[in-house]
């Protein structure tokens, strides 16, 4: 008998006006009219209605997307390369009619020395010749993807010896 009374109470509650206007019930309705009490009616839309009315479907991360400038297209850029032999080259590059030129510094175990660079850019392939003040010539063949550059290099020393290695780094504005 108690079970029958409980079922009747649930059926009456589910079929009442309060259940029909409470957003937390299965009765639906968009207004938060808590249990039918007009003093509690804040006439607030449910989240799904708010989103449908106030969030444009075309605004999904497009308006807030960040456009990263491409160093390959810039008139001036900065290239930082880490060589496999633990030395580092930092260059300030500029576009010229002939290609790319720049100057910077090379830091190695024995200190820092100035360097000059000339090169060309074809698509995402950067060919760069870097001459150090001590006479060393580095020939880089690099590929760029975004701001990352990687590739190989050969080093010609003033005494005629040559070395090869890998370089990787950042090319940024």
Which pLDDT belongs to residue 104?
A: 97
- Residue 168 CA from chain centroid, whole number: 19
Assigned token pair, 96: 């010229």
Choose among 87, 69, 75: nearest CA to 140.
87
What pLDDT, in 10s, does the model give residues 112-140?
999 999 999 999 999 999 999 999 999 99
CATH architecture of residue range(s) 76-172: Beta Barrel (2.40)
Mean pLDDT of the chain: 79
Q: Where along the chain do its domains lie?
A: 2-59, 76-172
Least confident of 36-40, 67-71, 127-131: 36-40
Q: What pTM was estimated for this model as a whole? A: 0.60
Contact 103, 117 (CB under 8 A): yes
Contact 114, 133 (CB under 8 A): yes
* SS3 label, residue 158: coil
More confident residue, 146 or 22: 146
Q: How confident is the model at residue 110 (pLDDT cuts 50, 70, 90)?
A: confident
């Amino acid at each position: 008998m108690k079970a029958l009374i409980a079922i009747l109470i649930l059926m009456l509650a589910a079929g009442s006006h309060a259940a029909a206007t409470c957003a937390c019930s299965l009765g639906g309705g968009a207004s938060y009219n808590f249990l039918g009490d007009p003093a509690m009616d804040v006439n607030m839309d449910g989240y799904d209605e708010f989103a449908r009315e106030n969030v444009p479907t075309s605004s999904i991360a497009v308006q807030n997307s960040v456009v990263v400038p491409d160093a390959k297209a810039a008139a001036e850029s900065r290239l930082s390369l880490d060589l496999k032999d633990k030395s580092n080259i930092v260059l300030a590059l500029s576009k010229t009619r002939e290609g790319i030129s720049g100057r910077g510094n090379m830091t190695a175990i024995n200190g820092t020395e100035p360097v000059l660079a000339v090169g060309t850019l074809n698509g995402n392939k950067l060919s760069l010749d870097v001459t150090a003040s001590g006479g060393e010539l580095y020939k880089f063949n690099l590929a760029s993807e975004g701001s990352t550059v990687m590739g190989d290099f050969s080093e010609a020393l003033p005494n005629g010896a040559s070395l090869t290695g890998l370089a990787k780094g950042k090319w940024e504005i």
